């Protein structure tokens, strides 16, 4: 038996309506909540057309409408509901995993952070993420079929040509894996993958401390050290995805052997492991970054010295980065960003001595605003691309 075809000819009233519905969903995805008048202005659609489509899409549950006051007048505020699809973010670290779900505008609906064993394996970690996702979806009353896609951040370069996880990866068991296709298979959902510092850069540039700046470098100072570069609003990855890997810039030819195989990389001097290791003789093994910061603020000489030296070494690298990349703003994120001004003051001091004056006099150095959430929010932004490509919006007749 022939099924009636959903295909419609271009220019027919039905395809025009679908196009207009799609346009309204698109502007709401980018802007969050808008009044009907604003939607009409941004889309160029007639107010009556907007009003009709909003009524239909709210009847079908894709849009929610609530009264608001705009320019002193009562208006209808319109936003997407989760019936328009949700997106999923995964942020993998050396020892942690964050799973989050968000609406199509990247506003978080639920997030969960769990500890992972060091040296965790790729497949098992993805399965763990899948279990957590089920919990979050069921808590929010959302069906898995409503997930439009997954954005996944990994602490490793991702080869832009084939999607393979490159070296040096903080997770050796993951190198050479085509992370996006393996994860797509195991999760049964479309997955995009990117380096976590790139995702942090994207999130901070769009919603955090990088807002309004043209060229932004985001520093991830954690177990791994790297930078994400945003140029004119877009992440710059380079040919094989290693752009911004400042953690492996040589600081000392005869320094400690790094996990990348070289010696004396920046990361060997300033990773959280290096910082805690330096303080072990004074403060023992069970120290965390938050303790170091608290002790330093309370005047502990060793903690202060180590944080200042850390800022100094980062300052040298950032001076080189500024000379080459000449960004408007440096956004400092990752675990060590908790040290705040203790770190930034020392960075700025070194930067002013080591950088080309024209490059470093104008650059602003600020702390990440999204804090520990930078990477998961960037993962949402990545997943939102999948939402754009495959709008789960069912046409309303
Ligand atoms: Zn290295």
pTM of the model: 0.86
Which residues are placed with Cβ below 5 angstroms of ligand 1, an ion?
A: 248, 258, 260, 262, 265
C-alpha distance from residue 254 to each of 262, 266, 310 (Å) = 9, 12, 18
Closest CA to 88 of 35, 33, 155, 142: 142
Spacing, Cα 155 to ligand 1 middle (Å) = 13
Q: Can you give the pLDDT of all 397 residues of the chain as single tens digits? A: 344 344 444 556 678 888 888 889 888 888 888 999 999 999 999 999 999 999 998 988 889 898 888 778 888 899 888 888 899 999 998 889 999 999 988 989 999 999 988 777 888 899 999 999 999 999 999 999 999 999 999 998 898 788 888 877 767 778 888 999 999 999 999 999 999 999 999 999 999 999 999 999 999 999 999 999 999 989 999 888 889 999 999 999 999 999 889 999 999 999 999 999 999 999 999 999 999 999 999 999 999 999 999 999 999 999 999 999 999 999 999 999 999 999 999 999 999 999 999 988 899 999 999 999 999 999 999 999 888 775 444 444 4
Closest CA to 87 of 34, 179, 150, 134: 150
Spacing, Cα 246 to ligand 1 middle (Å) = 9
Strand, helix or coil at 92?
Answer: strand
Spacing, Cα 258 to ligand 1 middle (Å) = 5
Query: Cis omega before residue 168 (within 30°)?
Result: yes
Spacing, Cα 253 to ligand 1 middle (Å) = 11
Spacing, Cα 267 to ligand 1 middle (Å) = 6
Spacing, Cα 286 to ligand 1 middle (Å) = 25
Spacing, Cα 256 to ligand 1 middle (Å) = 10
Using CA atoms, how far apart are residues 226 and 267, in angstroms rounded to an integer? 9
Spacing, Cα 259 to ligand 1 middle (Å) = 6
Strand, helix or coil at 87?
Answer: strand
Spacing, Cα 298 to ligand 1 middle (Å) = 33
């Amino acid at each position: 038996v022939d099924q009636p075809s959903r295909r419609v000819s271009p220019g027919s009233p039905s395809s025009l309506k679908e196009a207009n519905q799609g346009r309204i969903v698109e502007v709401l995805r980018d802007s969050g909540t808008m009044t009907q008048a604003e939607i009409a202005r941004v889309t160029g659609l007639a107010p009556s057309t907007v009003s009709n489509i909003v009524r239909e899409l709210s009847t079908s549950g894709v849009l929610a409408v609530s009264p608001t006051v705009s320019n002193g007048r009562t208006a209808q505020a319109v936003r997407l509901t989760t019936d328009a699809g949700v997106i999923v973010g995964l942020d993998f670290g050396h020892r942690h995993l964050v799973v989050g779900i968000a609406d199509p505008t990247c506003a978080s609906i639920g997030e969960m952070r769990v500890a992972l064993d060091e040296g965790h394996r790729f497949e098992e970690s993805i399965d763990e993420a899948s279990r957590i996702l089920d919990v979050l979806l069921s808590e929010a009353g959302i069906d898995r079929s409503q997930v439009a896609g997954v954005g996944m951040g990994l602490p490793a370069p991702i080869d832009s040509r084939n999607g393979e996880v490159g070296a040096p990866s903080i997770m050796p068991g993951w190198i050479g894996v085509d992370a996006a296709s393996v994860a797509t298979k195991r999760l049964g959902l479309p997955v995009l993958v990117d380096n976590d510092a790139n995702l942090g850069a994207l999130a901070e540039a769009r919603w955090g401390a990088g807002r309004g700046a043209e060229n932004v470098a985001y520093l991830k100072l954690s177990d791994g050290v790297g930078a994400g570069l945003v140029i004119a609003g877009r992440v710059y990855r380079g040919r094989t995805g290693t752009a911004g890997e400042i953690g492996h810039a040589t600081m000392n030819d005869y320094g400690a052997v790094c996990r990348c195989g070289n010696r004396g990389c920046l990361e060997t001097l300033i990773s959280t492991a290096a910082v805690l290791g330096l303080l072990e003789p004074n403060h023992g093994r069970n120290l965390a970054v938050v303790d170091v910061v608290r002790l330093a603020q309370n005047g502990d000489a060793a903690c202060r010295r180590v944080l200042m030296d850390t800022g100094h070494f980062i300052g040298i690298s950032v001076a080189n980065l500024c000379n080459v990349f000449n960004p408007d703003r440096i956004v400092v994120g990752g675990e060590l960003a908790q040290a705040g001004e203790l770190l930034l003051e020392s960075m700025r001091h070194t930067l002013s001595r080591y950088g080309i004056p024209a490059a470093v006099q104008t650059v602003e150095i600020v702390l990440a605003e999204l804090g520990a959430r930078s990477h998961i929010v960037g993962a949402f932004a990545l997943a939102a691309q999948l939402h754009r490509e495959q709008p789960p919006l069912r046409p309303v007749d």
